[in-house]
Amino acid sequence: MSTVALPPLADILSTARVVSLTLAARFRGILVREAMVFEGPEGWTEFSPFVEYGDVEAATWLAGAIDYGWTAAPTPVREGVGVNATMPAVAASEVAGLLARYDGCRTVKVKVAEPGQTLADDVARVRAVRESMGPEGRVRVDANAAWNVDEAERAVHALAAFDLEYVEQPCAEIEELVQLRERIGYLDIPIAADESVRKAADPLRVARSGAADLLVIKAQPLGGVHAAREIVRQAGLPVVVSSALDTSIGLSMGAALAASLPELPYDCGLGTASLFTTDVVASPLVARGGVLPLERPRPSATDLDRVAADDERRDWWLARLGRCYELLTRG
């Protein structure tokens, strides 16, 4: 977690707003994304662990939000961050319409292994993305740890024809990733680790185990920009900075991290504001020509009123904030 001193809870509550954003397509099984935003001395920040996450995991996200709101961001070494388009697990017929929401992105991350779908659905979706992007586009897939080793091997073989940039978190366990990496090594398709970093008690174990070729790093779930930078430094592997379906405020946190890294060989997963039909600011933080600008959104009261959650959901988030804050005070 971040080492920033905790501000008084009252300071957080004084500006805290709970928002509810509508998605253009179902993503992670949801059509509405909830989040809490509040303002610190450095600007607006975001606390948005998914609703099913427990308080212990969510408290790390709160540490990340506080880090971004109360600690100056690292000095950037680039003026913008190249980002990928994100393709939910939609039917192949919907691919072109969703890709049109992204301006100039040369890379697409395609969600696969969706519950209730088949490998044939994944193949059709990835084929449609490849056809839309052409031979020069970059296509990566993300299974969110849904396959076992045999399923993953079969899926990678089926998808290899589409010239994959990498496959993200094909299996849940580090030992499974090691086995899969050995099995598909001859295909020259890298394996990226996401959940094995952000949900792990030891986020560096995946790198030490030789289980992945690159890491997917998310600032808020890892305790903030500064904590995530330290993980990147110690891991010694290439990284992709990504988001967790954040509002434009949360995406700016990820962009601050990505812009500060000495090396950034891949397009980053920070373009997901294009999946929303609403956002916390009138001009969402979206890619322009495939590049996300380094901007820190500042929502107006009108912006926040427009997407405010109802009273029941607001009270739920405020109670969650209090519990997670209490956990942080205990260290």
Contact 168, 140 (CB under 8 A): yes
Catalytic residue among 111, 130, 140, 314: 111
Longest CA–CA span in the chain (Å) reads 56
106 token code pair? 């040369």
Ligand-binding site membership of 142 (annotated): yes
Beta strands at 43-47 and 80-82: parallel, antiparallel or unpaired: unpaired
Asked if 109 is an active-site residue, the reply is no
**How far is the C-alpha of 154 from the C-alpha of 146, rounded, in Å?**
13
Contact 223, 271 (CB under 8 A): no
3-state secondary structure of 192: strand
Nearest to 284 by CA among 56, 3, 93, 33: 33
Catalytic residue among 17, 33, 130, 218: 218
Beta strands at 107-111 and 138-142: parallel, antiparallel or unpaired: parallel
Nearest to 87 by CA among 162, 16, 4: 162
**How far is the C-alpha of 6 from the C-alpha of 37, rounded, in Å?**
16
Residues catalogued as catalytic: 111, 218
- Which residue ranges are tagged as binding site for Mg(2+)? 142, 168, 194
